[in-house]
Amino acid sequence: MSPSRVAASRPAQQGSDLIVPAGGQRTQTKSGPVILADEIKNPAMEKLELVRKWSLNTYKCTRQIISEKLGRGSRTVDLELEAQIDILRDNKKKYENILRLAQTLSTQLFQMVHTQRQLGDAFADLSLKSLELHEEFGYNADTQKLLAKNGETLLGAINFFIASVNTLVNKTIEDTLMTVKQYESARIEYDAYRTDLEELNLGPRDANTLPKIEQSQHLFQAHKEKYDKMRNDVSIKLKFLEENKVKVLHNQLVLFHNAIAAYFAGNQKQLEQTLKQFHIKLKTPGVDAPSWLEEQ
């Protein structure tokens, strides 16, 4: 579009006129009206142009998606990358199931520990009031209190396991899947503009079509670069995610196994040592919430 020219509302001095170009500098001319050489931009027209581009892009992508679902359009496929993405999504569902089961176990164990503590207090009270059964109530009270204490320790380990797996599933893996969604959107755009270019190349080449082909080639190249970048980003994230996942799950599975084994073996010393190994600190007993841990 050529710069808009606007005549001044009042005449300039005779023999001397002003030209105001982009940048605001003034130069003297021999004659003529005052001219604004800067292009006047209309905000409404700019917004309309953005909406037009967005609508055109949405139309092309929607057409590409429908064409793929109907089996009429071609689709760019990276077999190795998409296999890794499918495995990640499947693993996420399995990890979410483990997380739900571990949370259920934590809730049930908390209720059992709470009941054992109350039972221990009841036995201790009866031990003081029943002289003929003082010893029997006494050692039952001690047993329930010891079980409650060990249960609290196990609960700390389980909740630490839950917190770590939850971070892996709902933050680390979810962040990677968000990048995957962006990659899939870039792939659809790339295929949509690739299809457009292929259709134009199959048609006639004349003065009317050559500018369209050139513009289509430019748009195709831009979306190809975006697609290649997103594919590379996903590959890198998947690689780092796999390394991080193995490290996190290795530590958490060792913790879970050792804590459960020590608890049911009645090995209080080993149970406490397991928590020290993973730097887990228990909260003060007696709180109402089921969470007994504080991560380091």
Least confident of 140-144, 220-224, 237-241, 275-279: 275-279
Least confident of 24-38, 104-118, 219-233, 251-265: 24-38
Torsion-angle region of residue 92: left (phi > 0), alpha (psi -120 to 50) or beta? Answer: alpha
- Structural domain contains residue 17: no
Report whether 239 contacts 88 (CB < 8 A): no
- Structural domain contains residue 286: no
The domain containing residue 183 runs over which residues? 80-276
* pTM (2 d.p.): 0.71
Query: How confident is residue 288, by pLDDT bands cut at 50, 70 and 90?
Result: very low
pLDDT at 41: 62
- Structural domain contains residue 39: no
- Within 167-284, strands assigned E span 281-282
Query: How confident is residue 284, by pLDDT bands cut at 50, 70 and 90?
Result: low
- Provide the CATH number for the domain around residue 121: 1.20.1270.60
- Structural domain contains residue 75: no
Residue 15 has pLDDT above 70, yes or no: no
**What pLDDT digit, counting tens, does each position of 126-160 carry?**
998 888 898 899 999 999 999 999 999 999 999 99
- Structural domain contains residue 294: no
C-alpha of 163 from chain center: 17
- Structural domain contains residue 41: no
- Structural domain contains residue 218: yes
Q: How far apart are CA 263 and CA 279, in angstroms?
A: 18
pLDDT at 46: 78
119 membership: H or E segment, kind and range = helix 79-129
- Structural domain contains residue 25: no
Q: For the chain, what is the domain count?
A: 1
Higher pLDDT, 286 or 266: 266
Higher pLDDT, 60 or 137: 137
